[in-house]
Structure 1
Amino acid sequence: MPRPIVAWYGVAVLFAVQIFSFVDRQALSLLIAPIKADLGMSDTEVSLVIGLGFALAYAIAGLPIGRLVDRISRPALLSAGLALWCGCTFLCGFVRSFPQLALARSGVGIGEATGTPVVVSLLGDWFLPHRRGLAFAVFAVSAYVGTGLALVAGSAIVHAFAGVSVVEVPLVGPVRTWQFVFLLIGPPGLLVIPFVLSLFEPRRSTGAAGRTMAASDAPELSQVVGHYRRHWRAFTTQHAASALLAMLFYGTGAWVPEFLRRTYGLPIAQGGLLFGLVTVAAGTVGVLSGGVISDRMLKAGCTDARLRVTGFAALGALPFAAAFPHAATPGLALALAGGMIVFTAAISTTGSTGVQELAPARMRGTASAVYLFVFNGIGLSLGPTVFALLTDRAFGDEALLWRALAVGAPSLAALAALAAFTGLSSYRTCVAANAGETPRSSARRGPPGPALATGV
């Protein structure tokens, strides 16, 4: 493992990369109204661009990328992905139709699919198991900072160009205001590539005999499939709980600015700014709390700590998810939505670190890709669409978006809690198998030994 200063430098660089990732990903949620007007799209079509068009490409590309993570230079792979998603974000500023926007967003998804498998794999090699929660938590704060910055900066741009429908861009010509936002936010991420290429790439070891493994020593697909078959209950419940909380976070996050506008008449620039600030504050508290609490529980001997914290986070989010759509004022709605985000943010730590514990060391890249396939294929792609379909099909009136949120949000939180608590025993069994131990019936056990650190 690298020296702590090297490892934490790596976390700082990955933090910056993730900020640009979420800025590029989330800015579109502020631009729903002008995009609908210019391209003639419905709420459902907008949700497909925000969610499915992005997330399906992200999820499908993540599977082969996960295999590459176990075989080639991870900093080089992440740099290539960063260049791709920044370029495709920039191209969103030139689209003229729904299919073109969906295609450009798919390119953003493919590029961003390199991010989490690389991050999960590198952090797993840089930190011991009982310290990974804090490392992942610090890194995961960047998702909420990025989301908040996208909303705050996007709101500032929308406010600055209020009443202006067309912007004259040098060398480009006239573009719509919403297109100008993409032209601004796309290129800056390229500045981080030299720092990504400087990241420490550890020698990868089996952990058993301590020998260094070459890329050709990466596990065969049949070995990965065999591990999943043996522990399918653990993977299924862990992935389901994470994906359902992701549906809650991404689904509500995509529609809250519009909810504030449609329900309370709050201007989109003001609503986006306020929700961005709430997201940064609440997300930071939640993700750090989830990492620190699950780390302490793990160190105390609770080997199912990551999944157990996920379950409690889902229960904690439930009352806030049920209450915020019914709030009498926009301020109260934002405060209650912030309470929900505090709890849903925990998944940013417990989900990825949980995969670290369920997968042996040399399967982490592939396991992360599978996890992201489920997490994004269900959570990010279906989350925004669930609320859009409820609005368009069940209630038939865009002004009733609040009712769609009131029905969908608490249902997702309840299902996530059920999945998490159902899988605790299977989770402990899988963790013990990776550590070469026999699981005890109680969650209270001695702290994991060195074998767990290597994933063997």
Structure 2
Amino acid sequence: MSPLRSDASSPSLSPSRPDLTRSGVAWYGVLVLFVVQIFSFVDRQAMSLLIAPIKADLGLSDTQVSLVIGLGFALAYAVAGLPVGRLVDRLSRPAILTAGLALWCCCTFLCGFVRSFPQLALARSGVGIGEATGTPVVVSLLGDWFPPQKRGIAFAIFAVSAYVGTGLALVAGSAILHALGAQPTIALPVIGAVRTWQVVFLLIGPVGLLAVPLVLSLHEPRRLRDGSRPSASAAETPGLRAVLTYYRRHWSAFASQHAASTLLAMLFYGTSAWMPEFLRRTYGLPIAQAGLWFGCVTVVAGSLGVLTGGLVSGRMLKGGYVDARLCVTGLAALCALPFAAAFPNAAASGSALAGAGAMIFFTASISTTGSTGVQELAPARMRGLAAAVYLFVFNGIGLSLGPSLFAILTDHVFGDEGQLWRALAVGAPALAFAAAAAAFVGLAPYRACVTRSEEPCPARASEDPASVTA
């Protein structure tokens, strides 16, 4: 880590760029995006409470369930994110997010009608495609709404929504399961008899549509060139050749940043997906109680961790440390490591929840440092696509392989679903260590890339690729 100062750490607003934070437009936008992200994570994470009944009704193994929770959803999310990222750099961002919101709400609702593994996988893939619109839109809008010195706190506040959404999914799902009791099926008007776990999807799916009018009310700012100069049209978006050249010249910076964030994502998503089942299988907690307590832990620990990571990295950035985002990611991974090793071996459920909460506090930093790191590495007109590439790696590997890693260890290494705790005890600290190593190895190339990312970027692929920021 070196105290090299970049313009990104102490910029001033251009006279041609209005300060949207003063008018409240930008902060209203953060509030709307916060609400939308909560709905996104509620729809995404509720399934972790329903593993046991889904396995029983559809005849699935832990590995197959992990493919639905992780791989099927994440691959659709990651692949769809690439064209979405390109569209975000060219079309109306509120309109793109509205379409995605409608799609994922409808597909969550359809999960309540599935009768087989392929049907469930297809519905979950639809949820992933819809949610793929979220982060590219958010990264692009926050980049245009806020000057660099305010982006850290804006991203941190927004990122809290992921943990609030995850926690609410578990709390709300637990409340629904508790209210339904031990009834295997429920007779609903018009729909007829459905399994209890299907009711959860039928109830939470349509609620997100309430946010559609709010999304359509978001301010679409004029697109910015590098240096905060409004651009004339979306036609100035860098061509694919220019983008590829930029990535090739800074591959080590992008690789280390993406790897560190993705490994921490594997740790968070993998442990979160299996934590309610871990508490049930290891300590005998009823699944509704396990979901309730872990949901509360996730909301508190995740929210505090996101805000702390954003504030710490923001202060370091203001102090001139241009590698602050990646450095904080590495430090957070190191701090998470002992708790990742301890919680699966805890003697009681309370100790396990406390250890998991401490681990989540540290891993939550990537929700701020990951997205803002991409902002710093990429020139302004590449941000939408850069966010999509980041998410392709982050979700294509982190979200898809995280849940599957622990399921494969349980099914094929230890060979007993009661040994889930051993899978967590082996995999969780290994992921934390690998994330820390990736972050610290990449600090030097990250600094070099950040200090050059604000140079002008060519608008079209037909321009000389040698003129791309090197």
Q: TM-score normalized by structure 2?
A: 0.92
8 Å CA contact 1:206, 1:213 repeated in 2: no
8 Å CA contact 1:158, 1:269 repeated in 2: yes
Inter-partner Cα distance in structure 2 for 1:357 and 1:165:
51
Inter-partner Cα distance in structure 2 for 1:274 and 1:346:
22
Residue equivalent to 2:163: 144
3-state secondary structure, aligned to 2:115? coil
Residue equivalent to 1:25: 44
The answer to whether structure 1 residue 435 and structure 2 residue 454 are counterparts is yes
Q: Which amino acid aligns with 2:410?
A: T
Residue equivalent to 1:317: 336
3-state secondary structure, aligned to 1:435? coil
Give the Å deviation of 1:128: 1.3
Q: 1:189 to 1:34 in 2, by over 3 A?
A: same
The answer to whether structure 1 residue 3 and structure 2 residue 14 are counterparts is no
3-state secondary structure, aligned to 1:213? coil
8 Å CA contact 2:226, 2:455 repeated in 1: no
Residue equivalent to 1:110: 129
Q: 1:415 to 1:210 in 2, by over 3 A?
A: same
Structure 1 unmatched runs, 5+: 438-454
Which piece of structure 1 moves more, 375-384 or 124-133?
A: 124-133
Residue equivalent to 2:199: 180
8 Å CA contact 1:15, 1:139 repeated in 2: yes
Q: Which amino acid aligns with 1:158?
A: L
Give the Å deviation of 1:207: 3.6
8 Å CA contact 1:82, 1:112 repeated in 2: yes
3-state secondary structure, aligned to 1:433? coil
Identity %: 74
3-state secondary structure, aligned to 1:54? helix
* Counterpart mapping for 1:29-428 below 5 A: 29-207=48-226, 210-428=229-447
Give the Å deviation of 1:211: 4.7
Q: Which amino acid aligns with 1:179?
A: Q
8 Å CA contact 1:391, 1:404 repeated in 2: yes
Give the Å deviation of 1:435: 3.2
Superimposed CA distance per residue, residues 52-99 of structure 1 (whole angstroms, 9 cap, x where no aligned partner): 010000000000000000000000000000000000000000000000
Give the Å deviation of 1:160: 1.2
Q: Which amino acid aligns with 1:380?
A: L
Residue equivalent to 1:449: none
Q: 1:180 to 1:2 in 2, by over 3 A?
A: farther
Inter-partner Cα distance in structure 2 for 1:213 and 1:269:
54
Q: 1:159 to 1:211 in 2, by over 3 A?
A: closer
Inter-partner Cα distance in structure 1 for 2:408 and 2:226:
49
Inter-partner Cα distance in structure 2 for 1:213 and 1:406:
54
Q: Which amino acid aligns with 2:250?
A: H
Q: Which amino acid aligns with 1:409?
A: A
Q: Which amino acid aligns with 1:116?
A: T
Structure 2 unmatched runs, 5+: 1-17, 457-468
8 Å CA contact 1:2, 1:202 repeated in 2: no
Q: 1:69 to 1:168 in 2, by over 3 A?
A: same
Residue equivalent to 2:463: none
Moved over 4 A (4+): none
Give the Å deviation of 1:436: 4.3
RMSD: 1.3
3-state secondary structure, aligned to 2:296? helix
3-state secondary structure, aligned to 2:194? strand
Superimposed CA distance per residue, residues 366-386 of structure 1 (whole angstroms, 9 cap, x where no aligned partner): 000000000000000000000
**Corresponding pairs, count:** 439
Superimposed CA distance per residue, residues 113-138 of structure 1 (whole angstroms, 9 cap, x where no aligned partner): 00000000000111111211100000
Inter-partner Cα distance in structure 1 for 2:61 and 2:226:
53
3-state secondary structure, aligned to 1:174? strand
Inter-partner Cα distance in structure 2 for 1:346 and 1:210:
31
Inter-partner Cα distance in structure 2 for 1:215 and 1:425:
33
Give the Å deviation of 1:163: 1.1
Inter-partner Cα distance in structure 2 for 1:97 and 1:207:
50
3-state secondary structure, aligned to 2:313? helix
Q: Which amino acid aligns with 2:349?
A: P
Superimposed CA distance per residue, residues 215-241 of structure 1 (whole angstroms, 9 cap, x where no aligned partner): 221110111101101100000000000
8 Å CA contact 2:222, 2:230 repeated in 1: no
Inter-partner Cα distance in structure 1 for 2:20 and 2:324:
27
Give the Å deviation of 1:162: 1.9
Inter-partner Cα distance in structure 2 for 1:387 and 1:153:
25
Inter-partner Cα distance in structure 1 for 2:66 and 2:407:
6
Inter-partner Cα distance in structure 2 for 1:62 and 1:3:
27
Q: 1:209 to 1:402 in 2, by over 3 A?
A: closer
3-state secondary structure, aligned to 2:186? strand
Superimposed CA distance per residue, residues 379-403 of structure 1 (whole angstroms, 9 cap, x where no aligned partner): 0000000000000000000000000
Inter-partner Cα distance in structure 2 for 1:303 and 1:182:
44
Superimposed CA distance per residue, residues 223-270 of structure 1 (whole angstroms, 9 cap, x where no aligned partner): 110110110000000000000000000000000100000000011000
Inter-partner Cα distance in structure 1 for 2:111 and 2:84:
24
Give the Å deviation of 1:405: 0.1
Give the Å deviation of 1:209: 8.8
Give the Å deviation of 1:3: 2.2
8 Å CA contact 2:20, 2:146 repeated in 1: no
Inter-partner Cα distance in structure 2 for 1:293 and 1:168:
52
Give the Å deviation of 1:363: 0.3
Inter-partner Cα distance in structure 1 for 2:164 and 2:229:
38
Inter-partner Cα distance in structure 1 for 2:82 and 2:395:
12
Give the Å deviation of 1:349: 0.3
